[in-house]
Structure 1
Amino acid sequence: MTPALCRDCGRRDPVGPNCPECGGRRLLRHPELFALTIAHIDCDAFYASIEKRDRPELLTRPVIVGGGRRGVVSAACYVARTSGVRSAMPMFKALALCPDAVVIKPDMAKYVATARQMREMMETLTPLVQPLSIDEAVLDLSGTEALHRAPPAIVLARFARAVETRLGITVSIGLAPNRLLAKLAAERDKPRGFGVLGAEAAAWLAPQPVGLLPGVGPALARKLGAAGFTRLGQLAVLEAREAARRFGEDGPGLVARARGEDTRRVDPARETKSISAETTFDSDLRTLAELEVPLWRLCEKLGRRLGEKGFGAAGVVLKLKTAAFESRTRTVRLGRPTRLPEMLFRAAQPMLAKEATGAAFRLIGVGAQPLAPGDQADLPDLADPDSARRADRWAAVEKLRARFGEGVVVSGRGLPGKPRPG
């Protein structure tokens, strides 16, 4: 008999379409259900779910968390998503799709507090918890069956019910033999889902579109499609040498993921060694003026991430990928740590200028490495009397954006068609 579990009451191996214990229909069945140990836990519409928890009158209403009309969507509940609203969508587009949505400004302090409670609950399951974002983590429950007197699948089902009871939000869970498959399993049945992928993963992946894989965005999917690869099974049969020839250094890893292979360990002590931001273009860019626009936007994003994580950049890394999937990485050390977009841009722009000599690029990224403590970033400097003004200006911009949305202040460098900054 295939191992089974009732997610509502925890009964093991229920028979029939309904649980004989509680009558529930949320039954899990999988040949490896009680043997798999890697779990991916992802909160469902985290910010929006917290707002609905705190305002029950909004339970059935479409809710969007984000800035004003010129801002962007930070999160959308599943009711709003049925109208096509998605995270990072400009607010005016979201409201055009869902005009009756309730828009709520983000309350990060509240979200962080809930995330901290969630993390504490995860750490009672296993010490091997690796956070991936504020609302997402991967866990390794190997060897915990004796502690909990139950296999990981049962422990995770209990956890999901406890989150709903104690925190008033829901999670989706993926259970698999590795991190990649656990993430894909978690995404199969959102919201309030519990997906399982085991030995059948390769067969399940084969007919899926290439865009299913994490890291394969629309632009890369189009590139792969143009080369004749639209399904993961078409990639999975490539040998590593052929993959490298076709897709450069990222090719073998891409093919391995298409097979469902992933050797990454769950590492709770993983040290943050770098912080970065990157973007893949909808169409290839060639000129320096074209490339500087996304570079500036990424420098703004990188500066914000450095501030949020309490670091400064002691060095800047520029990453480019050509239309032929050739990766180019350039680095420069800084005289003084910074997290100001203007200083990050000043460091990255000369490196970009040396590379933008006519080649077509499909991706650009900028990163901070090595990192410096945040309290060492952008200290006053007698040799640079404008340093304090730059820091104050950036702080004022970020304060306005936090209050009124991303679009309230836009630098000319971030606008397409503008002349190249000096």
Structure 2
Amino acid sequence: MPAFCRDCERVAEEMATVCAACGSARIISHPELFSLAIAHVDCDAFYASVEKRDRPELAERPVIVGGGRRGVVTAACYVARSFGVRSAMPMFKALRLCPEAVVIRPDMAKYAASGRMVRALIERLTPLVQPLSIDEAVLDLSGTEALHRAPPAVVLARLAREVERTVGVTVSIGLAPNRMLAKMAVERGKPRGFAVIGRGDAASVLAPMPVSALPGIGPKAAARLAARGFTTLGALAALSPAEALSRLGEDGPALAAMARGEDGRPVEPSRASKSVSAETTFDADLSALADLERALWPLAERLSVRLKAKALAAAGVTLKLKTASFQTRTRHARLPEPTQLAETLFSAARALLAREATGASFRLIGIGADPLADAAEADRGDLADPDAPKRRAVEQAIDRLRDRFGPGVIGKGRGLSIPPE
């Protein structure tokens, strides 16, 4: 069976559990190992890993990245996960499960900078890279073996080592014949994993999995399938197209095909993001306009960072507020021209906020870009706003300094008025 060592790249038709050349136990073997080319690369507990990289004394500690006690968990390291902490969990519940956890406020500028470094390393391998988030991408390495002088599996192992060496975080890799199977594979091996699902073993690997393992099948959809007698992928996979249509409706044949490991989606480098946003939940409800503005500014900076990382711009701004009674308000304004600038995003959202801050108490505030535009259209300036290119140049200079020396090296005066949380 084809195999190779992830650490020294020794390739063999048969390999023991330990590499004879370097002694590593990180051996990958699979009948289709050197014929598969679709990979899913996912950073392990990315935000928490970046924080541990910058604070080595936290290496063995449980770390949670997220808001205050009334916020939610943005990310949790694997030590914290062993206590049951999960992303999107309310912070009070996470701290009840893991009271000794170190809680760190999110630093999106730092994470975006690290994410760009990982992305740059991935994009050196193939032009067919489809980013899925700041720390995750799918890539097609078909036809690259001659270029890299190695099959995709070996090239991916090199990538993982290079990310660890230069960025200081770990990644997990899923290798398969299509995107869906690659995604399922990457989830099997975390952290620092490398898992393979081939064409020949897809049916046997998927059959015992719950239906919720399929992309897009959440708890409600899984409950509906269970009510019809389908709890595993094997049960779905056994349906013919006609049976699937009859028993599950229009989506039935596609679900049955996915349960068999079939996925015809190509890797699309130009896939457009549907939305970009940032929000925060307060430790205590806020009602005063000045307090809400102070909370809005760092969100505008975070949104600006995310837009730049995705090479996108905001053609409009959406303000989101959640009242103390959990009612959500959204307000929208179209911009004169697309922008990536935090100051412009903030000004537009602040005008919307001023009309809402009339005494009501709010527990959450958010800002989003809607609709999105290409970055090339952003902040070009016109007769009505001739200084836009100058503001863009200033912000780009700030971004370069932050990328090089860290997010706290420089900031605008507006940020100095924000009290520590």
TM-score by length of 1: 0.69
Q: Which amino acid aligns with 1:204?
A: V
1:260 corresponds to which residue? 261
Distance 1:372 1:255, change over 3 A: farther
Distance 1:99 1:339, change over 3 A: same
C-alpha distance after superposition, 1:195-223 (max 9, x if no partner): 00102111211111111112111221111
Distance 2:130 2:147 in 1: 20
Query: Conserved in 1, the CA contact under 8 Å of 2:317 and 2:349?
Result: no
The secondary structure found in structure 1 opposite 2:204 is: helix
C-alpha distance after superposition, 1:230-287 (max 9, x if no partner): 1101111223333234333322222111111100101112234x4499xxxxxxxxxx
Distance 1:52 1:387, change over 3 A: closer
Query: Conserved in 1, the CA contact under 8 Å of 2:52 and 2:58?
Result: yes
Report the alpha carbon displacement of residue 338 of structure 1 after superposing the two structures with TM: 5.1
Instruction: Indicate yes or no: 2:319 matched with 1:340.
Output: yes
RMSD: 3.3
Distance 1:167 1:81 in 2: 23
2:352 corresponds to which residue? 390
| Uncovered stretches (5+) of structure 1, i.e. residues with no partner | 278-300, 314-336, 343-348, 350-365, 381-385, 401-406, 412-422
| Uncovered stretches (5+) of structure 2, i.e. residues with no partner | 278-298, 322-327, 367-421
The secondary structure found in structure 2 opposite 1:96 is: helix
1:261-280 alignment to 2 at 5 Å? 261-272=262-273, 274-275=274-275
Count of equivalent residues: 320
1:111 corresponds to which residue? 111
Q: Which amino acid aligns with 1:88?
A: A
Distance 1:251 1:5, change over 3 A: same
Q: Which amino acid aligns with 1:128?
A: L
The secondary structure found in structure 1 opposite 2:251 is: helix
Which of 364, 372, 375 in structure 2 is aligned with 1:409? 364
2:92 corresponds to which residue? 92
Instruction: Indicate yes or no: 2:16 matched with 1:3.
Output: no
Distance 1:338 1:161, change over 3 A: closer
Distance 2:154 2:50 in 1: 26
C-alpha distance after superposition, 1:340-383 (max 9, x if no partner): 348xxxxxx9xxxxxxxxxxxxxxxx9x9x9996449xxx9xxx
Query: Conserved in 1, the CA contact under 8 Å of 2:112 and 2:305?
Result: no
2:75 corresponds to which residue? 75
Q: Which amino acid aligns with 1:339?
A: T
Query: Conserved in 2, the CA contact under 8 Å of 1:42 and 1:173?
Result: yes
Distance 1:237 1:395, change over 3 A: farther
Distance 1:271 1:72 in 2: 27
Report the alpha carbon displacement of residue 133 of structure 1 after superposing the two structures with TM: 0.5
Distance 1:209 1:305, change over 3 A: farther
Distance 2:94 2:110 in 1: 24
1:12 corresponds to which residue? 11
Instruction: Indicate yes or no: 2:192 matched with 1:192.
Output: yes
Distance 1:45 1:372, change over 3 A: farther
C-alpha distance after superposition, 1:275-327 (max 9, x if no partner): 499xxxxxxxxxxxxxxxxxxxxxxx9xx9899545568xxxxxxxxxxxxxx
Instruction: Indicate yes or no: 2:118 matched with 1:128.
Output: no
Percent identity between matched residues is 61
Q: Which moved more, 1:247-256 or 1:260-269?
A: 247-256
Q: Which amino acid aligns with 2:155?
A: V
The secondary structure found in structure 1 opposite 2:189 is: coil
2:222 corresponds to which residue? 221
Distance 1:152 1:194, change over 3 A: same
Distance 2:22 2:40 in 1: 27
Distance 1:58 1:393, change over 3 A: farther
TM-score by length of 2: 0.69
The secondary structure found in structure 2 opposite 1:339 is: strand
1:151-230 alignment to 2 at 5 Å? 151-198=151-198, 199-230=200-231
Q: Which amino acid aligns with 2:111?
A: Y
